[in-house]
A and B are shown apart, each in its own frame.
Chain A
Amino acid sequence: MVPRSIYFVLLASVAAASPAAAQQGGGAGKLLLTNGISTVEGSSGGGLAPWAVISGNETRDGFGAQAAVTVVTLPDYDLKAFSVAVGLRDRLELSYARQSFDTNKVGGALGLGDNFSFDQDVWGAKVKLAGDAVFGPTWMPAIALGVQYKKSLDPLVARAVGAHERSGADLYVTATKLILNYSLLVNTTIRATKANQLGLLGFGGPNGTQRRVVPEASIGYQFSRRLVVGAEYRRKPNNLAFAREDDAWDIFAAYGIGGHLTATMAFADLGSIATVDGQRGLLVQLQGSF
C-alpha cells in the first residue's frame, strides 16, 4: 500500500508545476532535462543509476523538487515506485521512494499467495561535491556522493529468502557530464551495497554479508532539447543462495514536456528474479518537477 500522502505530494507538485511553465516554454531554472529522471530508488539520475545532478528545476539560488511514478511491467512481476525528492540550492538532494513489488502468480507458486506484494522504503541523500554536468570545463564532470537507506516493510520476505538483514544502506559516488561537443551524456556510478534485488529481498545472505563495490553506467545521446535516448547498466551483488541475481540494464528514451514534466519509456532487463529467469519488460515513468 502506498500512503495517500505520497499521491498527494506527487499530484500537487505536478499540478503546481505545469500550467504556467507550459506557456513560457520552460521558465527560469535548470536547462531542460538536466534534473535527470527519477531512479526507482527516488534519487535523480537515470532509471537505474543515480547521477551527479540534483532533483528539481532550481539552480544554486533556490529550492526545487520533483516527484515521479515509475511502473516496471515484467513477465512475472510488477514493480512500482513512487518517489519525491527535493533539491536545495542545486547542492543537496533529499529523497524518498516507496517501492512495491507484486509477485503476481509467482507468489502463489512460492506459497505466499497470488498477487502477494511487498514494499520497501528508500530514504536518500545526495550532495554535489564539485563540478557541473553542463557548464565549466569539459573535463570536469559534476561529482556527487550519496546514500540510500532502505528498509523492507515486510521483514518476513527477507527472512524467508535467507537474507541477513531487512534494512541496509547503499553508499555511492557518481560523476556525470553532458559532453556538448558530442551531445553525449555520460555517467559513472560506483556503489557499495549488500542489497538483494535493490533491497526488496533483504540485505546480505549466504554468499556475502559485506557491502560489495559495484559499477553502474549510463550513456545518453541528446537528439534535441527535449529528447534523450540512451542505455544504462547496473551491476548487482549475488548474495542469496536460493536464487541467482543478474545485472540490470535498460535502453531508454526520456522526453521533456514543457519544462516541468518528463516522460520516460525504457526497455529494462532485470534478469533472473527469485528463481524466475528472463524478467525483461517495459519501464514507464512520469515525472513532475519545479
Chain B
Amino acid sequence: MMVLLSILLATAQVAAPAPQGEEAVAPYRVDPANAGAKPFSGDRMARQFGGQPGIRRIVDSFVTSNFADPHIGEIFKNQDAVRLRRVIFEQFCYILNAGCTYTGRDMRTAHTNMGVQQADMNRLVENLQRAMATERVPFAAQNRFLAKLAPMRSAVVQR
C-alpha cells in the first residue's frame, strides 16, 4: 500500500499537463541534473553569451537552423519545435548559470530512437557554433560551453 501510494505521489508530481503549445511527453522525473552537465560557477559565461536574451537568440537560431538543415533536418521533422526551443533554452541557460532551472528529460531519454549518428552530432555542433558566432560569443567561451556538451555524446549518438 505504501509503495503504491508513493508511486501515485511520484506520478502526480511529474504528470503535469504539457505547457501551452507543446505536445505531451511520457511522464518523467523533473531534475536539473537531467541537463547532463554541472552549471558553470560565476556569471562570466552567462555574460559572454549575452545573458538570457542572448541565450534565447542563440537557441532560436540553433533550433531553426537544425529544422532547416539539409543533412539533419529530417531528424527534427517529427520533433516538437515549441518544446525543443523551451527545454534547450532551459538547458543552455542552466548550464551557463544564467538563472534558469532545467525541467526537460535526461539526454538519453530525450534522444531515444532519434537515430542520431556521429556525423549528425557534428553537424549539430556546427549549427550551434554558427549560432554562437552570430551572437558574437568569443570562440574560447564557445569551446568552454562545448566542453560541457561533449561528454553527452554517448547519450545522444546511437550505437
A134 CB within 8 Å of chain B = yes
If A136-B153, A224-B139, A225-B129 touch, does A29 touch B122 (CB 8 Å cutoff)? yes
B117 touches A59 (CB 8 A): yes
Bound Cα distance A111, B52 (Å): 73
CB-CB < 8 A to A222: which residues of B?
139, 143
B154 CB within 8 Å of chain A = yes
Candidate in B118, B120, B125, B154 with the most chain A CB atoms within 10 angstroms: B118
Which residues of B, 32-83, contact A by the 8 Å Cβ criterion?
70-72
Min CB gap A33→B, angstroms: 12
B24 CB within 8 Å of chain A = no
A28 touches B143 (CB 8 A): no
Which residues of B, 4-46, contact A by the 8 Å Cβ criterion?
none
Segment of B86-94, B102-110, B144-152 in the binding face: B144-152
A136 touches B151 (CB 8 A): yes
Q: Is the interface of B mostly helix, strand, loop or mixed?
A: helix
B129 touches A27 (CB 8 A): no
B118 touches A180 (CB 8 A): no
Give B121-152 as 1s and 0s: 1 = Cβ < 8 Å from A's Cβ atoms.
11101100100000000011001101100110
Bound Cα distance A9, B120 (Å): 28
Of the residues B118, B120, B121, B144, contact of A181 by C-beta under 8 Å: B144
B120 touches A31 (CB 8 A): no
Of the residues B117, B126, B151, contact of A135 by C-beta under 8 Å: B151
Bound Cα distance A135, B122 (Å): 10
B119 CB within 8 Å of chain A = yes
A207 CB within 8 Å of chain B = no
Give A129-143 as 1s and 0s: 1 = Cβ < 8 Å from B's Cβ atoms.
000101111100000
Q: How large is the interface on B (under 10, 10 to 19, 20 to 34, 35 or more residues)?
A: 20 to 34
A180 touches B71 (CB 8 A): no
CB-CB < 8 A to A29: which residues of B?
119, 122
CB-CB < 8 A to A180: which residues of B?
143-144, 146-147, 150
Min CB gap A36→B, angstroms: 15
Bound Cα distance A222, B139 (Å): 8
CB-CB < 8 A to B118: which residues of A?
59-61, 90
Candidate in B70, B72, B120, B139 with the most chain A CB atoms within 10 angstroms: B139
Of the residues B71, B125, B151, contact of A31 by C-beta under 8 Å: B125
Min CB gap B149→A, angstroms: 9
Bound Cα distance A134, B157 (Å): 14
Of the residues B117, B139, B146, B150, contact of A61 by C-beta under 8 Å: B117
Min CB gap A132→B, angstroms: 7
A159 CB within 8 Å of chain B = no
Bound Cα distance A29, B151 (Å): 19
A24 CB within 8 Å of chain B = yes
Min CB gap B33→A, angstroms: 17
B143 touches A183 (CB 8 A): yes
Bound Cα distance A217, B129 (Å): 28
Which residues of A, 179-212, contact B by the 8 Å Cβ criterion?
179-183
If A31-B126, A60-B118 touch, does A24 touch B147 (CB 8 Å cutoff)? no
A30 CB within 8 Å of chain B = yes
A181 touches B143 (CB 8 A): yes
A281 CB within 8 Å of chain B = no
Min CB gap B42→A, angstroms: 15
B139 touches A183 (CB 8 A): yes
B150 touches A134 (CB 8 A): yes
Give A21-40 as 1s and 0s: 1 = Cβ < 8 Å from B's Cβ atoms.
00011111111100000000
Q: A136-B151, A222-B143 are in contact. List 10 more A-B contacts (CB 8 A).
A: A27-B71, A60-B118, A61-B118, A136-B150, A181-B143, A181-B144, A181-B147, A183-B140, A224-B139, A225-B129
Which A residues are closer than 8 A to B by beta carbons? 24-32, 58-62, 90, 132, 134-138, 179-183, 222-225
12 pairs, CB–CB < 8 Å, chain A vs chain B: A28-B71, A28-B119, A29-B119, A32-B126, A59-B119, A61-B119, A135-B150, A137-B151, A180-B144, A181-B147, A183-B143, A225-B126
Which B residues are closer than 8 A to A by beta carbons? 70-72, 117-123, 125-126, 129, 139-140, 143-144, 146-147, 150-151, 153-154
